[in-house]
């Protein structure tokens, strides 16, 4: 599997967990409700949505569940499933909140944790409800049957009933969403401190829409729709899935470059060097794991090198002022370096060592053109000069990626709107001091219940996406550990910082992914220990974040409202969020 595929499934999981954590960001970050039972609503969302897409239960087979509505017209599809799952999770969140929300915060946390355990045990014990302790399977994610995209399949539109060629339509949808998301991100960087032609890229990417007086969201929508239509048209007329994929991929890389360089240009040369040193040091420290022969050398070597690295970092923070001032940015630069090497260079080591130059080029090309999956038996064949024969296809993961990205940004946008609305201001006031809120004539109870409803609904929404992603549910998945992970994600980025939640989810899952890969270099008998070590390390990481970065990596977001004469910072312009302070800690 190419590294690009790993990254894509990684981003899907990050997106789902970011949405799940957004529920907690709203509950804890904005309202101050410590909901230790957040996983309960994740569970509710997952199971409720699945009942809408399962076929009716066959009493003769080994699985049993309470309802399967897939055959019911209009109702039996994912769209309805997700909406109902979100609503039900929200309603249950409100019902849980009614009796518990008046409790002291620690009582509240433990009581709602108990509620989530009750949900989990209910699923486990009641075999008639959702197959009890065994996995609930037998449903497939939406449109899965059309993937990988080939040029001869057909798709029946759900409501209209018309039949359209599947590949151009689905590719157009995927491309439109990816394009729009990239454009929206780029829109936030319109006048960054970068030497790259960001504005022309924005203008070109939006097909001229950026020239008008449209807001960022509309520009993104227009650009996405045009890009989607164009790519769909190209696919309909010509057998051109590879060129279309190349354009989409390269556009996204260009946006990534602009975003990265906007951050990087703020760094001085010595910060850069320190970051590269840090990233390379991490790379070197991990070398004993794949290459050392004996397990003892793997463990001792890596631990010794990591200790040296962390020690060196700590020493530099204590002795060099510039290093201490920019330590988070140095870590950022180091991670960027590490990830780039891992993504582009490391996959080439194998083919190059074997003297297979064209193989190395093919790998590089596959990782660069991430929008397409390469290799395998199924797909469209191309003969490219210098690379040889390429089999390309669009697999389901990429379609899912587009969907999850859209939903994640949608959740982000909604949360930003909420945080900046009068309602959000009251929520923050409830978090800071309930008596003040009460004295101003607002009932904190009402606002807390509303926050629980909305946060739980987000959790349920994430649950439905999770059900879609995993294609099977067991009660074990919904252990209290998930709440812990969501809390960690919320705290890494900054409890009340909406951007921070995405960063937190990415950091957490990057750590998860990296340690799983590293664990595969150990003998199977030791893997349990290695994976346990990583969870212990996660606990330590959590403590470090809580102690040294109580406001998270990105710090507190500034939601101050502009006052009429404009004395405070510029406020939101048609929903465009003001930038968080970017983690500067001076």
**3-class state of residue 384 by DSSP:** strand
Among 3, 110, 364, 576, binds other proteins (CB under 8 A): 110
- Smallest gap, in angstroms, from Cβ of residue 29 to other proteins? 13
- Smallest gap, in angstroms, from Cβ of residue 287 to other proteins? 22
Residue 310 binds other proteins (CB under 8 A): no
Which range, of 45-53, 102-110, 369-377, 405-413, touches other proteins by CB under 8 A? Answer: 102-110
- Smallest gap, in angstroms, from Cβ of residue 472 to other proteins? 21
Among 107, 291, 314, 322, binds other proteins (CB under 8 A): 107
Q: Which of these, 374, 346, 350, lies nearest to 2 by C-alpha position?
A: 374
Half-sphere exposure of 107 (CA within 13 A, CB side): 7
Among 55, 72, 79, 122, binds other proteins (CB under 8 A): 122
Among 388, 539, 562, 575, binds other proteins (CB under 8 A): 539
Residue 548 binds other proteins (CB under 8 A): no
Reply yes or no: is the peptide bond before residue 501 cis, omega within 30 of 0. Answer: no
Among 176, 248, 278, 487, binds other proteins (CB under 8 A): 487
Query: Residue 27 or 263: which CB sits closer to other proteins?
Result: 27
Other C-beta atoms closer than 10 Å to the C-beta of 346 total 11
Residue 314 binds other proteins (CB under 8 A): no
Q: Which of these, 283, 408, 300, 294, lies nearest to 340 by C-alpha position?
A: 283
What CA–CA distance (Å, rounded) separates 523 from 458?
Answer: 40
Among 162, 536, 563, 570, binds other proteins (CB under 8 A): 536
What CA–CA distance (Å, rounded) separates 417 from 577?
Answer: 8
DSSP secondary structure letters along 525-540: HHHHHHHHHHHHHHHH
Among 296, 383, 540, 563, binds other proteins (CB under 8 A): 540
Residue 303 binds other proteins (CB under 8 A): no
Which range, of 77-85, 121-129, 266-274, 348-356, touches other proteins by CB under 8 A? Answer: 121-129
- Smallest gap, in angstroms, from Cβ of residue 520 to other proteins? 17
Residue 125 binds other proteins (CB under 8 A): yes
- Smallest gap, in angstroms, from Cβ of residue 529 to other proteins? 5
What CA–CA distance (Å, rounded) separates 391 from 242?
Answer: 10
What CA–CA distance (Å, rounded) separates 403 from 335?
Answer: 27
Four-point Cα dihedral 17, 405, 249, 503, nearest 10 = -50
DSSP secondary structure letters along 124-182: HH-HHHH-TTS-B-----TTGGG-S--TT-EEE-TTT--EEEHHHHHHHHHHHHHHHHH
- Looking up tokens 């022969």, which residue turns up? 293
Residue 476 binds other proteins (CB under 8 A): no
- Smallest gap, in angstroms, from Cβ of residue 289 to other proteins? 16
Among 257, 418, 533, 576, binds other proteins (CB under 8 A): 533
Among 99, 158, 350, 354, binds other proteins (CB under 8 A): 99
Contact 163, 156 (CB under 8 A): yes
Helix ranges (H only) for 101-126 are 105-125
Q: Which of these, 136, 101, 140, 112, lies nearest to 41 by C-alpha position?
A: 112
Residue 280 binds other proteins (CB under 8 A): no
Among 543, 575, 581, 582, binds other proteins (CB under 8 A): 543
Q: Which of these, 524, 520, 518, 522, lies nearest to 306 by C-alpha position?
A: 518
CA triplet 578, 583, 584: central angle to 5 degrees?
A: 100
- Smallest gap, in angstroms, from Cβ of residue 335 to other proteins? 22
Residue 491 binds other proteins (CB under 8 A): yes
- Count of residues that interact with other proteins, criterion CB under 8 A: 43
Q: Burial of 22 by CB count in 10 Å (0-12 exposed, 13-18 middle, 19+ buried)? A: buried
Residue 113 binds other proteins (CB under 8 A): yes
Instruction: Give a three-class secondary structure readout of 385-432.
Output: CCCEEEEEECCHHHHHHHHHHHHHHHHHHHHHHHHHCHHHHHHHHHHH
CA triplet 351, 354, 355: central angle to 5 degrees?
A: 90
Which range, of 97-105, 152-160, 207-215, 571-579, touches other proteins by CB under 8 A? Answer: 97-105
Other C-beta atoms closer than 10 Å to the C-beta of 262 total 17
Residue 44 binds other proteins (CB under 8 A): no
Structure token pair of residue 478? 């919904």
Query: Residue 64 or 336: which CB sits closer to other proteins?
Result: 64
Residue 114 binds other proteins (CB under 8 A): yes
Residue 62 binds other proteins (CB under 8 A): no
Contact 443, 84 (CB under 8 A): no
Stated as kind and residue range, the H or E segment containing 467 is helix 444-470
User: How far, in Å, are 147, 200, 239, 331, 405 from residue 178 at the CA level?
Assistant: 18, 19, 21, 28, 8
Interaction with other proteins in 3-42: which residues (CB under 8 A)? 34, 36
Residue 103 binds other proteins (CB under 8 A): yes
Among 121, 315, 438, 573, binds other proteins (CB under 8 A): 121
Among 102, 144, 315, 438, binds other proteins (CB under 8 A): 102
Residue 105 binds other proteins (CB under 8 A): yes
Query: Residue 109 or 554: which CB sits closer to other proteins?
Result: 109
Which range, of 313-321, 396-404, 542-550, 554-562, touches other proteins by CB under 8 A? Answer: 542-550
**3-class state of residue 381 by DSSP:** strand
- Smallest gap, in angstroms, from Cβ of residue 491 to other proteins? 7
Query: Residue 320 or 527: which CB sits closer to other proteins?
Result: 527
Q: Where do contacts with other proteins occur on this chain (CB under 8 A)?
A: 34, 36, 99-100, 102-107, 109-111, 113-115, 117-118, 121-122, 124-125, 484, 487-488, 491, 525-526, 528-530, 532-533, 535-536, 538-540, 542-543, 546-547, 550
């Amino acid at each position: 599997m190419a590294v690009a595929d790993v990254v894509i499934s990684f981003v899907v999981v990050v997106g789902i967990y970011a949405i799940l954590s957004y529920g907690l960001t709203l509950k804890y970050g904005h309202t101050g409700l410590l909901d230790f039972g957040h996983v309960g609503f994740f569970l509710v969302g997952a199971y409720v949505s699945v009942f809408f897409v399962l076929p009716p239960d066959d009493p003769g087979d080994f699985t049993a569940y309470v309802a399967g509505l897939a055959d019911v017209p209009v109702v039996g599809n994912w769209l309805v499933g997700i909406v109902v799952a979100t609503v039900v999770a929200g309603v249950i969140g409100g019902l849980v909140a009614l009796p518990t929300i008046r409790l002291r915060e620690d009582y509240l946390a433990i009581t709602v944790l108990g509620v989530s355990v009750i949900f989990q045990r209910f699923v486990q014990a009641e075999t008639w409800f959702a197959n009890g302790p065994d996995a609930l399977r037998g449903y497939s994610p939406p449109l899965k049957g059309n993937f990988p995209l080939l040029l001869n399949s057909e798709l029946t539109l759900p409501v209209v009933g018309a039949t359209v060629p599947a590949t151009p339509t689905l590719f157009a949808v995927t491309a439109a969403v990816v394009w729009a998301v990239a454009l929206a991100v780029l829109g936030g960087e319109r006048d960054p401190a970068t030497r790259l032609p960001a504005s022309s890229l924005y203008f070109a990417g939006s097909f001229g829409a950026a020239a008008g007086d449209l807001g960022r969201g509309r520009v993104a929508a227009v650009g996405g729709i045009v890009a989607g239509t164009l790519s769909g048209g190209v696919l309909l007329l010509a057998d051109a899935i590879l060129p279309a994929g190349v354009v989409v991929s390269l556009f996204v890389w260009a946006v990534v470059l602009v975003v990265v360089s906007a951050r990087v240009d703020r760094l001085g040369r010595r910060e850069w060097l320190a970051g590269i040193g840090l990233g390379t040091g991490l790379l070197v420290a991990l070398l004993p794991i794949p290459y050392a022969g004996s397990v003892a050398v793997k463990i001792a070597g890596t631990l010794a090198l990591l200790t040296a690295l962390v020690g060196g970092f700590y020493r530099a923070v204590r002795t060099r002022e510039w290093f201490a001032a920019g330590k988070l940015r140095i870590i950022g630069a180091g991670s960027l370096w590490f990830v780039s090497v891992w993504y582009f260079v490391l996959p080439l080591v194998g083919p190059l060592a074997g003297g297979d130059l064209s193989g190395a080029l093919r790998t590089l090309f596959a990782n660069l053109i991430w929008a397409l999956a390469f290799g395998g038996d199924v797909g469209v064949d191309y003969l490219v000069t210098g690379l040889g024969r390429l089999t390309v296809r669009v697999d389901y993961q990429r379609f899912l990626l587009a969907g999850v990205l859209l939903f994640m940004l949608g959740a982000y946008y909604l949360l930003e709107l909420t945080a900046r609305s009068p309602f959000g201001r009251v929520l923050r006031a409830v978090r800071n001091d309930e008596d003040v809120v009460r004295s101003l004539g607002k009932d904190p109870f009402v606002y807390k219940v509303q926050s629980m409803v909305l946060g739980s609904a987000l959790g349920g929404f994430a649950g439905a996406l999770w059900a879609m992603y995993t294609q099977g549910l067991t009660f074990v998945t919904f252990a209290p550990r998930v709440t812990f992970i969501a809390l960690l994600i919320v705290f890494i980025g900054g409890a009340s910082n909406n951007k921070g939640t995405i960063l937190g989810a990415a950091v957490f899952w990057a750590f998860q992914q990296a340690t799983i890969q590293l664990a595969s270099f150990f003998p199977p008998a030791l893997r349990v220990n290695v994976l346990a070590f990583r969870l212990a390390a996660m606990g330590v990481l959590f403590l470090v974040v809580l102690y040294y970065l109580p406001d998270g990596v990105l710090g507190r977001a500034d939601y101050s409202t502009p006052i009429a004469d404009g004395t405070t910072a510029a406020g939101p312009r048609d929903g465009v969020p003001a930038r968080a302070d970017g983690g500067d800690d001076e």
